[in-house]
Amino acid sequence: MINELIKLIQSQEEELQRLLELLETQYKMIMSKDVFGLEGLVDKINECGKKIAKQEIERRNLTGEQNIKDIVYNSDNDKLKELYGKIQTTLNSTIMKKETNDMLLKQQIVFNNKMLEIINPRREIKTYNSYGNLSR
C-alpha cells in the first residue's frame, strides 16, 4: 500500500505543479489584461482540477477511513514523508495563488462596473430618503 500511495502522491504533486503553473500564467494575463487569453485558460485549469480530484478519490479509496497524516507519520518510509511535505507546500502555494487571482479578478470586475456606471449613469430621478441620503 505504501508504494502505491507514493506513486499516487507523486502524480498528484505533478498535477498540482501543473495547476500552479497555469495559475501563474493566469496571474500574468490578469495583470496584462489579456481577456482572450484568460478565456482560453479556463478549460485547461478545469481539466487539471478534474485530474487532481480523480487522483484524490483514488487516494481515498486506497487509504479508506484512515487519515493520510496518520499513515504518513506512522510509516517508517522517509520518501513518503518527504513527498507528503512537498505536496503540502505545493498545495498551499496553489491555494494562495488561486485566492490572489480570484481577488484580482473581482477587483477588475468592480472597477469595470464603476467605470460603466460613470460612462453611462442611471437616468432615473433620484430622491432623498428619511435619513437625507439619495436613494436609487
Average pLDDT of the residues of the chain: 90
In angstroms, rounded to a whole number, what is the distance separating the alpha carbons of residues 78 and 81? 5
Per-domain residue ranges of the chain: 2-123
Single-letter amino acid code for the residue at 10: Q
Query: Does residue 29 surpass a pLDDT of 90?
Result: yes
The dihedral of CA 49, 15, 38, 105: what is its sign?
A: positive
Query: Does residue 116 surpass a pLDDT of 70?
Result: yes
Phi, psi of 6 (to 5 degrees): -65, -45
First to last CA, the chain: 64
Whether residue 104 contacts residue 30, with contact meaning beta carbons closer than 8 Å, is answered with: yes
Query: Does residue 49 surpass a pLDDT of 90?
Result: yes
* The CATH number of the domain covering residues in 2-123: 1.20.58
Task: Specify the pLDDT at position 75.
Answer: 86
Query: Does residue 124 surpass a pLDDT of 80?
Result: no
Nearest partner of 3 among 70, 86, 71, judged by Cα:
71
Whether residue 136 contacts residue 124, with contact meaning beta carbons closer than 8 Å, is answered with: yes
Helix ranges (DSSP H) in the chain: 2-31, 35-63, 68-74, 78-119
